Amino acid sequence: MKILTSCLFILAVSSSHAIQADELGKPSPDASSRKSTLPGGAVDPYEPLNRMSWDLNYNYLDRYALRPMVHAYVDWVPTPIRNGIGNVTENLNEANYFVNNLLVGRVADSGTSVLRFALNSTVGLLGMVDVASDMGIQRKSMSMSTVLGKATVDQGAYFMVPLYGPTTMRSAIGDTVDGLYFPYANMNLWTRVAIWATDSFSKRARVVDQEAVLDNALDPYVTAKDFYLQYEESKVLDGQAPKPQPASDAEDNDAEVDRYLDEID
């Protein structure tokens, strides 16, 4: 899903300067200077538009709707139930992991995904209980976006989508392909939306303790963008955070990124 697919990074503050209407559709003037410095070859040519979406997501949707609900959820719902809800949505992705692991030549990991799905969907009460992990059979996540990254496909243009959250061209293509697999291929649109919303809400709840990192950042938009891009690229590098480039806007955020990666995983 989209660490997507994710409201994980719907925390930011818009830029303080006003944006003229005739500039909204134009690439950011300094986009080219960041072309080779963002993780995974990502670029942010539409930063003004992205900042407006970020402002909507954080200053309004997150502050007045999502954040209060998430805090109430964490405060009142027991941890085992919260974990169970997250397990159910994650269990649906095992079919994706089966195919995608095969595509990168990880046959053993592909077989592990099949075994995990069988165990958790039956003994684990439709995935509510991660029986497989309790038996030492760990999840072998592999999204199509990660497959493309391992095939040296750059992340491409970065977008902040209203309501949806952050994504890149590579992630958007990967998520679309992942949606063609079982069981998503057999679901209608509203069922998919409900699963996405549940998964995103669950992931958002996992990073409640990290909210201050973005709230106190000098430029939350840049910080959150780097969090997302580095997290996506770390999956391509098998869990290792990508090395920051000297000219990166987020070169001072390494420790914060590591904490986010640990929390999400």
Report the candidate in 60, 84, 78, 67 with the shortest Cα–Cα distance to residue 201: 67
Element (H, E) at 160: strand 158-161
pLDDT confidence band for 7 (50 / 70 / 90): very low
Structure-block tokens of residue 110? 């592909």
Residue found by looking up tokens 């954080």 in the block: 58
What residue spans define the domains of the chain? 21-93+143-264
For residue 111 the two structure tokens come to 């077989």
The predicted model gives 170-198 an average pLDDT of 95
Q: Write phi, then psi, for 5 (nearest 5 degrees).
A: 5, 50
The pLDDT value recorded for residue 258 is 56
pLDDT at residue 25 above 60? no
- Compute the chain's Rg from CA coordinates: 18
Residue written as tokens 């992991």? 97
Question: Hey, what are 244's tokens?
Answer: 């920051």
Query: What is the rounded average pLDDT of the residues 241-257?
Result: 55
- Cα separation, 226 vs 112, whole angstroms: 32
Distances (CA, A) of 162 to 49, 58, 114, 131: 10, 10, 35, 36
Q: Convert the pLDDT of each residue in 37-55 to its tens digit.
A: 799 999 999 999 999 999 9
State pTM to two decimals. 0.78
Q: What is the pLDDT of residues 101-156, one digit of tens each?
A: 999 999 999 999 999 999 999 999 999 999 999 999 999 999 999 999 999 999 99
